[in-house]
Amino acid sequence: MIDLIPLEKVIKENPRVEELEKQGYIIKPEKIDSYLEDFKGRTTTLPNKEYWNEKIVLITGISGFAGSHLAEQLLDLGCEVHGTIRRHAVPMYENIEHLRGNIFLHEADITSAERILSIFEEIQPNAVFHLAAESFVPTSFREPVRVTHNNIIGTIKLFEAARRFNSGLESLQVACSSEQYGLVDPREVPVTEDLKKNPFRPRSVYGISKCATEQIAWLYHNSYGVPSIISRGFNHEGPRRGIQFVTSVIHRQIVEILENKRDKFVIGNPNAIRDFTHVKDTVNAYIILSEKKKFGEPFNVCSGKGITVADYVKLAKKIYNIDADVFIDPQRMRPSEVPLLIGLNDKIFSETGWKPVRSIVEIIKEGVEYFQAHPEMLGIEAH
């Protein structure tokens, strides 16, 4: 039996976080109205439908969380959408079932150079979005060799295929990660793309693999002219997020509490501060960066504001008028924590006009609605 710890015994005060709050970088549930006021009338650059119409696009990892949302947006833009999927014993891909008949699927192991090149030659893509990766950080602690092989070797094989194909490819976007920054000094927050100010200090094999992913994209652009697009995505959330990720853990527990199936929240580190962006805003950034041909340089994709996991729960409780205690499960804590990650999105805004237009309240509500519509996903313990 796991001994759960009451939230109050784990909460820590941080003077730097108090400073960041005064500067407007921290979301507080009790001040949510002023935060939401900033979203009223907010606009962002949208993709040019004329540019994307009839483009042939390949998404690696199309059946994943972000991949499925990206496929939806590209279909709306008039693209011919192809995607790689890994063979399963049962051919069920929940995230893209509603897209069946509108997308083309290709079974492939991205670590197979021959298979990836054959897909390039078969479909002749104009744009590639490389999202296929083992992205759950705790998995990289349990299976470091497999995660390293999949994420790094898979990326090299993809870029080798792109180099050898070298025909009609206009962009190859790679989804890198804020986990590359890792152990950020609180004085360095908010995080910029400048590695002199914010050097990489990854705290997981996953973070290390994404540092390598970015370097591969940079190398192949500068050495071979591959049209690499590099995005450093911070936490992106919303409907269809994997059940093991913290927001989905919270969203599912909200549904279970509302349905009287549980009486408390159980989470991991409540003090961790993350910068959450709606997945639809995130994939829009991927498309915009590719359209604008921002080759070979990194762009943070983030909201520019952070919230503690404890306050995320507090805000969710406020939205749904829930009165339930919060407990900490020590087994949900990472061996090596990343305590504070808030990004600065000034660069992508100044160069493309992109900014997030969906709030953290929309992330919570849409995440909860998704699990309300999928009751089969409730009651499953995720670690």
pLDDT tens digits, residue range 181-204?
A: 999 988 999 999 999 999 999 998
Residue 54 shares a structural domain with residue 139: yes
- Predicted confidence band of residue 15 (pLDDT cuts 50, 70, 90): confident
**Residue with more model confidence, 378 or 55:** 55
Residue 33 shares a structural domain with residue 143: no
Domain membership flag for residue 170: yes
- Count how many domains the chain has: 2
Q: How far apart are CA 269 and CA 67, in angstroms?
A: 28
Residue 89 pLDDT > 70 = no
The pLDDT of residue 332? 80
Domain membership flag for residue 346: no
Domain membership flag for residue 352: no
The pLDDT of residue 140? 75
- Predicted confidence band of residue 280 (pLDDT cuts 50, 70, 90): very high
Q: Which of 304, 307, 309, 311 is nearest to 356 (CA)?
A: 304
Residue 84 shares a structural domain with residue 210: yes
Q: Which residues are CB-neighbours of 302 under 8 A, at least 6 positions away? A: 178, 233, 234, 275, 277, 342, 343, 344, 345
What does the pLDDT look like over 22-31, one tens digit per residue?
Answer: 999 999 999 9
Weakest mean pLDDT among 46-50, 284-288, 332-336, 339-343: 332-336
What is the pLDDT of the chain when averaged over all its residues?
A: 92
Tell me the average pLDDT across 162-184: 92
Residue 174 shares a structural domain with residue 194: yes
Residue 23 shares a structural domain with residue 116: no
Residue 24 shares a structural domain with residue 137: no
Q: How far apart are CA 266 and CA 279, in angstroms?
A: 24
Q: What is the CATH number of the domain that holds 117?
A: 3.40.50.720
Q: How far apart are CA 218 and CA 198, in angstroms?
A: 18
The pLDDT of residue 383? 46
What angle do helix axes 65-76 and 279-291 make, rounded to 10 degrees? 60
Residue ranges of alpha helices (H) inside 53-190 are 65-76, 113-123, 137-142, 144-148, 154-165
Residue 167 pLDDT > 80 = no
What does the pLDDT look like over 56-88, one tens digit per residue?
Answer: 999 999 999 999 999 999 999 999 999 999 876
Q: Residue 147 CB: number of other CB atoms within 10 A? A: 23
Residue 107 pLDDT > 50 = yes
Bond preceding residue 190 cis, omega within 30 of 0: yes
Residue ranges of alpha helices (H) inside the chain are 15-22, 32-37, 49-52, 65-76, 113-123, 137-142, 144-148, 154-165, 205-224, 246-258, 279-291, 309-319, 346-352, 360-373
Domain membership flag for residue 108: yes
Beta-strand relationship, 127-130 and 104-107 = unpaired
Q: How far apart are CA 274 and CA 255, in angstroms?
A: 23
Domain membership flag for residue 351: no
Residue 231 shares a structural domain with residue 244: no
Amino acid at 173: Q
Residue 145 shares a structural domain with residue 292: yes
Percent of the chain surpassing pLDDT 90: 78
Tell me the two tokens of residue 382. 């995720």
Tell me the two tokens of residue 86. 């890994």
Tell me the average pLDDT across 206-230: 97
Residue 21 shares a structural domain with residue 119: no
The pLDDT of residue 264? 95
What does the pLDDT look like over 239-248, one tens digit per residue?
Answer: 999 888 899 9
Q: What is the CATH number of the domain that holds 36?
A: 3.90.25.10
Q: How far apart are CA 129 and CA 208, in angstroms?
A: 20
Beta-strand relationship, 307-308 and 264-267 = unpaired
Domain membership flag for residue 31: yes
Residue 54 shares a structural domain with residue 84: yes
Q: Which residues are CB-neighbours of 141 under 8 A, at least 6 positions away? A: 204, 205, 334, 335, 336
Tell me the two tokens of residue 366. 């849409």
- Predicted confidence band of residue 130 (pLDDT cuts 50, 70, 90): very high
The pLDDT of residue 378? 80
Domain membership flag for residue 348: no
Tell me the two tokens of residue 103. 């997308």
In the block, residue with structure tokens 């979203």:
39
Q: How far apart are CA 150 and CA 120, in angstroms?
A: 19
Say if residues 351 and 294 touch (Cβ distance below 8 Å). yes
Residue 289 shares a structural domain with residue 215: yes
Weakest mean pLDDT among 40-54, 127-141, 150-164, 219-233: 127-141
Rounded alpha-carbon distances, angstroms, from residue 156 to 107, 160, 312: 19, 6, 37
Domain membership flag for residue 283: yes
Say if residues 323 and 374 touch (Cβ distance below 8 Å). no
**Boundaries of domain holding 194:** 49-236+279-301
Q: Which residues are CB-neighbours of 295 under 8 A, at least 6 positions away? A: 171, 221, 227, 228, 229
Residue 135 shares a structural domain with residue 168: yes
- Predicted confidence band of residue 121 (pLDDT cuts 50, 70, 90): very high
The pLDDT of residue 382? 52
| 3-state SS, residue 25 | coil
- 245-254 in b/e form (b: 16+ CB < 10 A) is bbbbbbbbbb
